[in-house]
Structure 1
Amino acid sequence: MANGSRQAAWEFFGAELKRRREDAGFTQVELGTRVFVSGGYIGQFEQAIRKPQLDVAQRIDDALQTDGIFERLCRKLIDDRRYADYFAKAAELETLATSICEFAPALVPGLLQTPAYAKAVTLAMNPFALDEFIDEKVSGRVERGRILKDESRPVYWAILHENVLRIPVGGAAVMAEQLEHVARLARERAVVAQVLPYTAGGYAVMTGDLRLMEFDDAPPTAYTEAVYSGSLLDDPAVVKRAQWAYDLLRADALPPEASLALIESAAEGFRRCASTT
């Protein structure tokens, strides 16, 4: 399903939810109370700003006595081939998070990737894939990044190992554009970005991708990713340890202004290199 048609389908979901809710005589707050989310979340579902999790859709069906229509719609829309099976649930939670903190040891996080960078990463991991497959994966990355432009965007904090700034994914021009994009988001205060330099010892604390997500109406969750695998962690003790590890990385990283200067310097270096080739 293309980006536009998928968004239109979520807008239909929202419009139908609003119609059924009003027919049942519920306010957003009243329906939210019945399905264990805030009234604000119901409003964001109706505006297609956020997407409900499957269990929330099921509870909406129960509350509105809609014979499973919202569960069926939700199942169809979250059956998304753009995401690997192990990441699909994390992508779903991402749209509901009020805060996202990421550590990236080698590649720019998906939420920050430009289309050209995302394509280069996808091609490197899938060298024999058809164009349709590559385009599908890239569109998923680009669409995910749009949550950073929404009014209801989450607080987003990224710690990038210096590797991320130095590995020339896609070549100099692609890297220049990518790092300029990260710098621009930081300058616009849409994200906070820190760089963990090679000189920092904190890299030994966490060597894989880590994402911490917080929510209004649910406990925090951690997501870790390795080669062709990922794990959602919701055990409170494990999540607390992950948060502690992230705090140690944040303490060892360069301050935001120094990090931004390093990102912009790396971008300028790639831009000069691109102009001479």
Structure 2
Amino acid sequence: MANGSRQAAWEFFGAELKRRRENAGITQVELGSRVFVSGGYIGQFEQAIRKPQRDVAERIDEALQTDGIFERMWRQLIKEQRYAEYFAHAAELERLATRFCDWAPAVMPGLLQTPAYTRAIYLASNPLATDQYIDQMVGLRQERAQILADATRPVYWAILHETVLRVPVGSSAVMAEQLDHVATMVRERKVLVQVLPFSAGAHPQMGKMMTLMQFEDAPPTAYTEGVFSGSLLDDPAVVNQTQADYDLLRGAALSLEASLALIESVAEDYRRCRRTT
């Protein structure tokens, strides 16, 4: 299913939700209280700005006595998506965000990855995968990264742990190209990147990637990811705490200028390594 038709399907989901809610004589606030989300979120579901999690779709069916129709629609839409279930909602929100703040403790954020770096990542975790599968995964990630190339791109700020720079992914040539790519994006003023050095020691969100997203007409959201799992955090108190953690990381990281210098220095180290091997 193409992006446009999938969005149209989510719009149908929202329109049907609104129709059935109004037929039941229930306000958005009342339905929200029954399914443990805010009335504003119900409005965003109805406008297809955000997509509900499966458990919310199930509770909507219970509240409106709709015999499982919203849970079934949710399953069909998720089945036809191109991303893993745990990341699908975050991928949808990426297209709507006006500001990103990424924290990367171990691996380069997807939106900054080069094709060769992405290929090395997928081959490391899928050593028996077919070329067709790897090509598909690389293509999807590069498609996501296009939002940073668009004229209307969002503000993007990334904090990379020094581990991301120092641990080789693929060959020295792959790493040099990857770091050169980040440096070029910074110099072209498309992104803001800081590096949290080893010397910073302990820090918030150790070992767990994190993304904060802000929107023009919706509340901010945080996304965290672990091993084959991800969580969208919508609760305002949790999002605020996540933002506070990010602010601490930003304060402990090298300045933008020093970070760029380190990225370019490590890229040169990889080039020297390549020449001597």
In 2, the alpha carbon distance for the partners of 1:250 and 1:78 equals 38
Paired letter, 1:115: P
Q: Which residue of 1 aligns with 2:261?
A: 261
In 2, the alpha carbon distance for the partners of 1:190 and 1:79 equals 32
Q: Which residue of 2 aligns with 1:171?
A: 171
Q: Which residue of 1 aligns with 2:81?
A: 80
> How far is 1:275 from its partner?
2.4
Report the CA distance shift for 1:238/1:175 in structure 2 as closer, same or farther (over 3 A): same
Q: Which residue of 2 aligns with 1:209?
A: 209
> How far is 1:136 from its partner?
1.3
In 1, the alpha carbon distance for the partners of 2:180 and 2:165 equals 11
Q: Which residue of 1 aligns with 2:109?
A: 109
In 2, the alpha carbon distance for the partners of 1:270 and 1:201 equals 25
Q: Which residue of 1 aligns with 2:25?
A: none
> How far is 1:276 from its partner?
2.6
In 2, the alpha carbon distance for the partners of 1:123 and 1:213 equals 29
TM-score using structure 1 length: 0.73
Q: Which residue of 1 aligns with 2:153?
A: 153
Alignment pair present for 1:56 and 2:57? no
In 2, the alpha carbon distance for the partners of 1:272 and 1:122 equals 26
Alignment pair present for 1:198 and 2:198? yes
> How far is 1:77 from its partner?
10
> How far is 1:190 from its partner?
0.4
Q: Which residue of 2 aligns with 1:133?
A: 133
How many positions carry a matched residue from both structures?
219
SS of the residue 1:232 aligns to: strand
Q: Which residue of 2 aligns with 1:241?
A: 241
Runs of at least 4 residues of structure 1 off by over 4 A? 75-78
Structure 2 unmatched ranges of 5 or more: 12-43, 51-72
> How far is 1:252 from its partner?
0.1
Deviations 1:230-277 (A, max 9, x none): 100000000000000000000000000000000000001111212233
1:183–1:263 CA contact under 8 A, matched in 2: yes
> How far is 1:201 from its partner?
3.0
1:115–1:142 CA contact under 8 A, matched in 2: yes
Q: Alignment RMSD, CA only?
A: 2.6
Report the CA distance shift for 1:172/1:100 in structure 2 as closer, same or farther (over 3 A): same
TM-score using structure 2 length: 0.73
In 2, the alpha carbon distance for the partners of 1:206 and 1:225 equals 12
Paired letter, 1:248: L
